[in-house]
Structure 1
Amino acid sequence: MEQADLLDINGQIFAEQGKALNAVASRNVKVLVVGNPCNTNALICLKNEPNISAKNFHALTRLDVTRAKCQTFLGCELVALKAGVFYDKVSNMTIRGNHLMTQVPDFLNAKINGMPVTEVITDIKWLKEEFTERVQKLGSVLIQKWGRSSAASTAVSTVDVIRSLVTPTPDGDWFFPGVYTTGNPYGIADDIVFSMPCRLKGDGDYELAKDVIIDNYLPDRIKKTEAELLAEKRCVAHLTGEGNAYC
């Protein structure tokens, strides 16, 4: 199936979901979109719920972060085993952008036991190439291996998102949903859903993390995944009330 057809068929489902939630849901409802392409489906949903804040919508890019944490652990296996470290000791791991192949696993800001990953794993070439490619392709690898999608991983990541939305973010850490970009401090295009680092505030709302490192490696890759999301947005313009679709 062509991407434009997939976006249209799945997008119609989320447009109707958005209208239904807008009609009957609490104005404080939190909406987590799992169905792919989840970033753009979340955008479609929120555009069809004008009475609910766009900040209440999340796309399940947390699944990619969970995979990246595990891959980070596997990548430093000798150090981790020697130190007795499990994947839950990896913090500040972020997936930037889309829940597709252009996603950007951000190892630059990640930490293992509070230490920068790049100080624990000094093979930067491995991080930029093998690690990044593993995370980007792991979803399709799992489908090829099992002959089905990783529903259990999705369920665990869904629980993780809910926990992050009701539990104060640990000091120095952040969580990483796909959220609405308008007003972001990172220079990402407005009016798309993009995975960015967030912290839960005391009132149950979230704020975007400000102490984020950006080096020469990240910007070009971030722009590529941003361009992909902007292209998807154009394909579903007819479902977001922004005119005719053009892909």
Structure 2
Amino acid sequence: LPLKSIVLVTGAAGQIAYSLLFSIAKGDVFGKDQPIILLLLDIAPMLPVLEGVVMELQDCALPLLREIVPTDKEEVAFKDLDAAILVGSMPRKEGMERKDLLKANVAIFKSQGTALEKYAKKTVKVLVVGNPANTNCLIAAKSAPSIPKENFSCLTRLDHNRARSQVAMRCGVPATHVRNVIIWGNHSSTQYPDVHHCLVNMSGSDLACFDAVKDDAWLKGDFISTVQQRGAAVIKARKLSSAMSAAKAICDHMRDIWSGTPEGEFISMGVYSSGNSYGVPDDLIYSFPVQIKDKTWKVVDGLAINDFSRSKMDATAAELIEERDTAVTFLGV
């Protein structure tokens, strides 16, 4: 049998993890014949709840799940990891300034980055889900200097899936018939869902998205704001944040890292910007279109960018620079 994959999920007693853990343990993410050891980290007050989650995972009687370790200690949680899915973060409370949220999260992700540096394998793949995801991811990466920056990514796959689905519903096709949407920039309301390179398979042939949808005003207006505001719309309706769809996106993201992206397709993920791809400033975690092979991502280069796209890509970069600069002042570096 292949060696066991050691996988950490933080915020493991929370609702995203509750939707996520079954899929990981069942083999939907790291492979159908890959034994898994699950490390589950949460804060001490949540340990009784976590115990219930552990019981349920045991009761699923899954063939690949070899061991489950619930803990509130970083030195236990981060040891020898192959993959770290950092879901837990300080959520924004009512009346909380974005700056206060950043300050609380910088402390968490600095600590977790330091733990990765100290205890995890240098080959560990780290996915940051907790918001503000891009900046949290950057802080974690900066706090683990001996792990390659390329090993860190943040989740914009949920936005990517949302965009794909909106186009699919509009065209009356399954979401799998829509490919190569792009989410540029920050996982926030400034993100830019871009369909200028998107293809829609309709009755057997690929059409450019604008030709398939035949409604430019929608694609440049309501479509973008719907994707940008979707998280808030779910919270308003459900009184809880999107957990099922976030868990599905996490699975998609990690599976693509492990298994690669399909030929001719690209997906969106927040990755470390360097070398000025598409004129994006260095030293940000910015969402790009990427292709993945042998667990290595590459930004899809050479896509034409029109003025409409350029201004939106620049706006989200500006927000990320501001977030980064604020966060770094809290780091004390």
Q: Same fold (TM over 0.5)?
A: yes
Query: Counterpart of 1:177 in structure 2: which amino acid?
Result: M
Query: Counterpart of 2:312 in structure 1: which amino acid?
Result: R
Larger RCO: Structure 1 or Structure 2 (Cα < 8 Å, ≥ 6 residues apart)? Answer: 1
Q: Tell me if the contact between 2:183 and 2:193 (Cα under 8 Å) persists in the aligned partners.
A: yes
CA–CA separation in structure 2 for the residues paired with 1:122 and 1:209: 26
Q: 1:226 to 1:110 in 2, by over 3 A?
A: same
Alignment counterpart, residue 146 of structure 1, candidates 220, 235, 238: 238
User: RMSD of the alignment, in Å?
Assistant: 1.2
Q: 1:193 to 1:241 in 2, by over 3 A?
A: farther
Deviation at 1:240, TM superposition (A): 4.9
Q: Tell me if the contact between 1:18 and 1:49 (Cα under 8 Å) persists in the aligned partners.
A: yes
Aligned to 1:22: 117
Mapping 1:62-211, distance limit 5 Å: 62-76=157-171, 80=172, 85-113=173-201, 114-201=206-293, 203-211=294-302
User: Which shows bigger deviation, 112-121 or 122-131?
Assistant: 112-121
Query: Counterpart of 2:245 in structure 1: which amino acid?
Result: S
Between structures 1 and 2, the one with greater strand share:
2
**For residues 89-144 of structure 1, what are the alpha-carbon distances to aligned partners after superposition, in whole Å with 9 as ceiling and x for unaligned?**
11101110001110000011111123210110121111000100100111000000
Q: Secondary structure at the match of 2:141?
A: helix
TM-score by length of 1: 0.92
Q: 1:223 to 1:214 in 2, by over 3 A?
A: same
Deviation at 1:11, TM superposition (A): 1.7
Query: Counterpart of 1:222 in structure 2: which amino acid?
Result: M
Q: Tell me if the contact between 1:47 and 1:241 (Cα under 8 Å) persists in the aligned partners.
A: no
TM-score by length of 2: 0.68
1:32 matched to 2:123: no
Q: Tell me if the contact between 1:184 and 1:208 (Cα under 8 Å) persists in the aligned partners.
A: no
- Would you say how many aligned residue pairs link Structure 1 and Structure 2? 234
CA–CA separation in structure 2 for the residues paired with 1:169 and 1:3: 35
Aligned to 2:98: 3
Deviation at 1:239, TM superposition (A): 4.8
Aligned to 2:309: 218
> Which 5+ residue runs of structure 2 have no aligned equivalent?
1-95
User: Which shows bigger deviation, 113-122 or 87-96?
Assistant: 113-122
Deviation at 1:171, TM superposition (A): 1.9
Regions of 4+ moved over 4 Å: 239-242
Aligned to 1:245: none
CA–CA separation in structure 2 for the residues paired with 1:184 and 1:197: 14
